[in-house]
Structures are given as C-alpha cells and as structure tokens.
Amino acid sequence: MGSVTAMTVFFPLDTARLRLQVDEKRKSKTTHMVLLEIIKEEGLLAPYRGWFPVISSLCCSNFVYFYTFNSLKAVWVKGQRSTTGKDLVVGFAAGVVNVLLTTPLWVVNTRLKLQGAKFKNEDIVPTNYKGIIDAFHQII
C-alpha cells in the first residue's frame, strides 16, 4: 500500500518528466508550469493518464521481488543465521529477477501513459491501445 500511495501522490511529476523526455519540442519549464500546460491542453485528469496500468505493474513488481527475495533467502540461508552481506546479495539477485521479468510491463505502461497526449512535435505518431493486454500484444 505504501508504494501505491507514493506512486499515486507523485504520479503527476512522473507524467511531466515523461512528457519532457519524449516531446523534444515541449519547452522545459518548471514542473508546475508543465503540469498546468498538460491540464490546460488535455483536461484535469491528464496527469493521471495511465495510472491503473502503472499501479498494476507496481503490484506485480513488488510481488515478484518479495517472493524471489524470500525464496532465495530460504534456499541460501537454510536455518543458518542471516547476515547483512547475504541479505544484500539476495536483494541484488531478487532485483535482477524482478527487472528481467517485469520490464515488459513497464514498457507497456510508458506507451499507455503517452496514449492520447498532445505533443508539440508533429513527428510523433499517436497510438491507440484498448488496455494493457492489447498494448502488450501490439508491441510484440
């Protein structure tokens, strides 16, 4: 719940960052000004476009990390005392597994967040996805 709350609170900041990265012709201003411009052009809920897929992926990512970490730790420690070094190595390995398994979800999320956005750069071709599964299928 903590990561869902944090992502929800700071989601508009991530939207502003992503727009500045993707749309080269959007002038870099303060975060507040970029968000106001997005709201003015696309509506009040535009900074939260793509929120549900991101939250879904975040939950999947947390699930993968948690169970990978605990499974690897149980296999490696096997009744011995856990140490900080072992926990760091297991955490690193769980993070690698998490990234390898969930990166496709994050790619889909980025595409869904940009769907329907109004870009200053006319070279950007808009896409149309019906949801997470449709986006994943079209990308593949």
- Distance between CA atoms of residues 14 and 31, nearest Å: 10
Which superfamily, per CATH, for 2-139? Mitochondrial carrier domain (1.50.40.10)
The percent of residues in the chain predicted with pLDDT above 70, rounded, is: 100
pLDDT digits 0-9 by tens, 7-49 = 999 999 999 999 888 887 777 778 889 899 999 989 999 999 9
pLDDT digits 0-9 by tens, 77-97 = 888 888 999 999 999 999 999
CB atoms within 10 A of CB 55: 16
How much is the pLDDT for 107? 92
* Model confidence, pTM: 0.79
The domain locations on the chain are: 2-139
**Residue written as token pair 């490696």:** 76
